[in-house]
Structure 1
């Protein structure tokens, strides 16, 4: 399914379901009073007791002052619209974490609705009553999300789920009667779909009770049917229609073969669905599937065959006449409108150029489209488009610490060759006005099936604008957005061949006269952290410094220790470590097995409550590299998970990262020093 969809779950009351097996317990935040790490010399950072560091120097005041404005940058993302489109529910940060806010007019005040210590990034209105909001929230970054209901009339939030198992994908039917979500409450491993009447939201029952990861996608207009997806991997998902009352399931996708699902919505009459899938093509194309002809036995007619890019998002107007279709064209979003009667596809050219997310229609407005839009020089903000006049209207303007965004760098889209005929697309940020050769930081995305997009990055803008360094952001083989064949090129043991793209990236840097191939750093988070460690382990002479954020140091130990609810999904991507032949390759390409080769300076950052890449992955590489090079920096946040979401933690992580790269890569060299003219 769409990478933006995260699995979630609800639990049942014992009176309404068979007694569940013990649920997986949410990781508990480490108490700062006890030592949370086995790394020698680690101690809490003065003034930040939940942030523990080892070998990390104090940030110089001059660097702190230079970065402070950049670190005040915030963004706004659309979560939902009221039925009439006059109220937008957004998430943005005005203190330490993202919280829910309401905006009631373009460029109007952002009225804060939640004031929690933990971030809130997913929420939606109850149709028919915008005073009721459902949202997901976890604790300490552990991703064991719970479902809450906020009553704006009282300002109080009520916990609807069990407080310990993992929940995801909250949906509410258009008639406001049904609440659906995913949850691991049955056994801690499988994600089931739950439904509950909104009048009694704690009275949930399991709609599916099957092995694997199941998620609710969308209700039919009458609330009688629910689209449900079973996801085995990013390239292997199946779609079903489930009767809400009886639980009877009808399969839509064929039994044979496989394909990914990026988006799906019911047609207006509820008798067919619009489905974006790459099952029948290299790219995700749009199809209309009649339910009376499901499950499919042959490929239906593609409605977007002329566009050779992925369909990433769909939104159907309430009158059923317009289908908004978002395409990912080389990392940029293009939105078109499909006339559902004539099947004509017309581009919506009035939107600002950039990357868009979360397109939606208000439930009672077929003339208004709402969405989030961002670009490389300014943070994400919320917009609407009047479909009669095609006029876009900006609803929020997020700040960048008072800095002039016109001084920021626009990346250039480049491509360079690698092995096996691969052409690697990448975004290159070059400092303005630089003379001579500049140091380079290579930044790898996570996933692995993620995609680096031209969105605002404090990291990239500070490195280029203030430090005079270039930033190169590649989408190596295995990345989303360039067809399923490209995405599959690193699956399983083929990951060994994908490491050649690191060498190709270095060769590209060496080919550019403005880039200094002798001063290259690398950074990345999650799978990008694996690529960072692999870079310095397998190309040891060509990197000077590396920052690994929640990265994988050993593929077998990662698969053995990641949370049970996601282990099989990851085995589908990385290969099954229980197979001796697969494990042999995994061990060969794991950075932990090649620590003796690492020569670059290393800085590792980790969240103690990370359910995806556990703390042990960070600490085993830190301690192994320190046997040869004691000056490895390490930062551990005891109140974070898979990445840092709290501003104070994130600020410390970013400032020390820039301090680290400035120390090891230095400043741009003059033309005289490099011998260039």
Structure 2
């Protein structure tokens, strides 16, 4: 018999601190980090020793996530939107606490690129000229005046800028599985660098210091993405780093002493650091177990700061001293009221689907008494093309802590498992990927620990669509559905995507379907047009400011399902967008989900 574990409230789980956005100050003494300890993400400065923490922004409503210190080390930059509308602006905050909106256009969306090597400028992207496309600008740090460097009229993505500013590397997707890379110079315009046949990904990531080589990701002749570099004079390319899993991105430290890259290893994100000159790996003793994110190397290249989370604990901030070879943890973000031993470690599992294809998933089994069988949920990630990993999820741990097993399925079409797996659901969404999720029930039942008559389905965004698809197209498969801002009508969603997604519009049409040319098919996979078949209890959560899945998507499906006489609960957050960032809203929403499950599952 397993000892009874303590049960925790949703307030206790949400009181775990979440960290994002790491950046080291020019003098190596402070680390900027975003924290939601105030209830909303604000920017904090943590001393390198961890002995001192200072809150620098004081927002009560909109997130203020750090980008980094200005080169003088006094002012810093942060990004923020309004109520989750995703129209992010860049702001400079001075030492006295006053802020300046650097990108003040009312509908202007801006994204930081990097600081210039001469410390006099920074590069950023903005759609202020044309809402559909992100142009590249350079802003003078003294005058705060922007200069247009690249006018983007063809839907390119700006990927890298050479240190001498001569080259701008671009990439442009043809489909989700096929893309090209280009290089722009003022003299020659845009030049295509990746002539190829078939589906191959090409994405630039960085130039070397002397602007002689372009580093890029590709899956050319390989199932997974790896790093190559192209000599810009000879046109010859060579492999820099190759793994048996996808390399997600690669970056240089400020003076290019180190090259680091992220590896997506079967649902776990790892980071590898190599010395640029020798290619030798940098081994870090006592490296913590968990997923790495937010890595930042200081300008002096002595220190490296990063976040590490694991399935039973939220991300903590670490600093590594390359010279002293010392690793320090600066934070303790798990709510002290929670004993980590009461939580459940995520297990990476695989099971066969209807056609024999192996489906990866992340499994959480609650602590059970001998002979006890738990209710369970199939959890579907966002996307399409997203992935569930072994991150800490306060919502999942809350549900598991209260007796629910959770199987987070990485159905075909998920990223992280090779290009063949990734494109296996194209133009078959809500069909083969849904079948993979339903087959997950067999895995759950096969453990001998799950009540086969009490299995529900839950998901957000694309996962919310999959929840609705399961209830509408396979109405006997699950006992309940939890839809968190999910698409109910693909025809409307694909026609109303935000203007700044213009470069990805055709990509989505080729993956899901064209709402103008394939209307009948699009309606056939849209749950709203089949809502009369939904006969199981449903709860829906929605942000009123969501620019991706409009509130009307949830309004309509709730209204339709109510006509069936089925129990339906609906919660709208007026101050949220595509994802709930405020603690009070998370508490309300996640508590409502558990109460709904307690009632109907």
Residue equivalent to 2:513: 575
Residues paired across the two proteins, number: 590
Give 1:30-179 correspondences, 5 Å limit: 66-116=9-59, 117-126=61-70, 128-151=71-94, 153-161=95-103, 162-179=105-122
Q: Does 1:531 align with 2:472?
A: no
Residue equivalent to 2:546: 610
Supply the distance in 2 between the matched residues of 1:121 and 1:333 (Cα, whole angstroms): 22
> By how many angstroms is 1:226 displaced?
4.1
For residue 57 of structure 2, give the secondary structure of its aligned residue in structure 1: coil
Supply the distance in 1 between the matched residues of 2:66 and 2:569 (Cα, whole angstroms): 34
- Which of 119, 134, 137 aligns to 1:194? It is 137
Q: Structure 1 residues 315, 383: CA separation in 2 closer, same or farther (over 3 Å shift)?
A: farther
Give 1:300-315 correspondences, 5 Å limit: 300-305=237-242, 307-315=243-251
Q: Does 1:325 align with 2:267?
A: no
Instruction: Write the deviation string for residues 185-237 of structure 1: whole angstroms up to 9, x where unpaired.
Output: 2232222222222223243425123122533x444344554444445555444
Q: Does 1:415 align with 2:350?
A: yes
For the 8 Å contact 2:8–2:338, the answer to whether it is kept is no
Q: Which range moved further: 593-602 or 651-660?
A: 593-602
For residue 499 of structure 1, give the secondary structure of its aligned residue in structure 2: helix
Residue equivalent to 1:273: 214
Residue equivalent to 2:400: 464
Supply the distance in 1 between the matched residues of 2:566 and 2:400 (Cα, whole angstroms): 30
Q: Structure 1 residues 104, 225: CA separation in 2 closer, same or farther (over 3 Å shift)?
A: farther
Give 1:552-591 correspondences, 5 Å limit: 552-566=487-501, 568=505, 569-580=507-518, 583-591=519-527
> By how many angstroms is 1:593 displaced?
2.4
Residue equivalent to 2:3: none
Instruction: Write the deviation string for residues 148-195 of structure 1: whole angstroms up to 9, x where unpaired.
Output: 1222x2211111221322222443223222222222222322222222
> By how many angstroms is 1:540 displaced?
1.5
Q: Which range moved further: 598-607 or 378-387?
A: 378-387
- Which of 319, 322, 325 aligns to 1:384? It is 319
Supply the distance in 1 between the matched residues of 2:275 and 2:455 (Cα, whole angstroms): 50
> By how many angstroms is 1:125 displaced?
2.1
Q: Structure 1 residues 424, 160: CA separation in 2 closer, same or farther (over 3 Å shift)?
A: same
> By how many angstroms is 1:122 displaced?
4.9
For the 8 Å contact 2:374–2:449, the answer to whether it is kept is yes
Residue equivalent to 1:284: 225
> By how many angstroms is 1:251 displaced?
4.3
Instruction: Write the deviation string for residues 267-324 of structure 1: whole angstroms up to 9, x where unpaired.
Output: 2322113222324421110112212244x7xxx332333x201112323234434312
> By how many angstroms is 1:390 displaced?
4.2
Supply the distance in 1 between the matched residues of 2:368 and 2:430 (Cα, whole angstroms): 39
Q: Which range moved further: 403-412 or 379-388?
A: 379-388
Supply the distance in 1 between the matched residues of 2:592 and 2:7 (Cα, whole angstroms): 9
For residue 303 of structure 1, give the secondary structure of its aligned residue in structure 2: strand
Name structure 2 gaps, 5 residues minimum. 1-5
Supply the distance in 1 between the matched residues of 2:14 and 2:390 (Cα, whole angstroms): 19
Residue equivalent to 2:274: 338
For the 8 Å contact 2:48–2:319, the answer to whether it is kept is no
Supply the distance in 2 between the matched residues of 1:77 and 1:617 (Cα, whole angstroms): 30
Q: Does 1:483 align with 2:424?
A: no
Q: Does 1:499 align with 2:437?
A: no
For residue 463 of structure 1, give the secondary structure of its aligned residue in structure 2: helix
> By how many angstroms is 1:379 displaced?
0.4
For residue 75 of structure 2, give the secondary structure of its aligned residue in structure 1: strand
> By how many angstroms is 1:66 displaced?
2.7
Supply the distance in 2 between the matched residues of 1:218 and 1:179 (Cα, whole angstroms): 13
Supply the distance in 1 between the matched residues of 2:283 and 2:224 (Cα, whole angstroms): 19
For the 8 Å contact 1:489–1:495, the answer to whether it is kept is no
Supply the distance in 1 between the matched residues of 2:164 and 2:147 (Cα, whole angstroms): 19
For the 8 Å contact 2:33–2:66, the answer to whether it is kept is no
For the 8 Å contact 2:45–2:53, the answer to whether it is kept is yes
Residue equivalent to 2:576: 640
Residue equivalent to 1:60: none
For the 8 Å contact 2:380–2:410, the answer to whether it is kept is yes
For residue 239 of structure 2, give the secondary structure of its aligned residue in structure 1: coil
Supply the distance in 2 between the matched residues of 1:345 and 1:105 (Cα, whole angstroms): 25
> By how many angstroms is 1:456 displaced?
0.9
- Which of 508, 521, 532 aligns to 1:596? It is 532
Residue equivalent to 2:205: 264
TM-score (norm 1): 0.82
Q: Structure 1 residues 378, 519: CA separation in 2 closer, same or farther (over 3 Å shift)?
A: same
Residue equivalent to 1:454: 390
For the 8 Å contact 1:171–1:218, the answer to whether it is kept is no
Q: Which has the higher contact order (CA 8 A, sep 6+)?
A: 1
Name structure 1 gaps, 5 residues minimum. 1-62, 666-677
Q: Structure 1 residues 166, 647: CA separation in 2 closer, same or farther (over 3 Å shift)?
A: same
Supply the distance in 2 between the matched residues of 1:495 and 1:661 (Cα, whole angstroms): 24
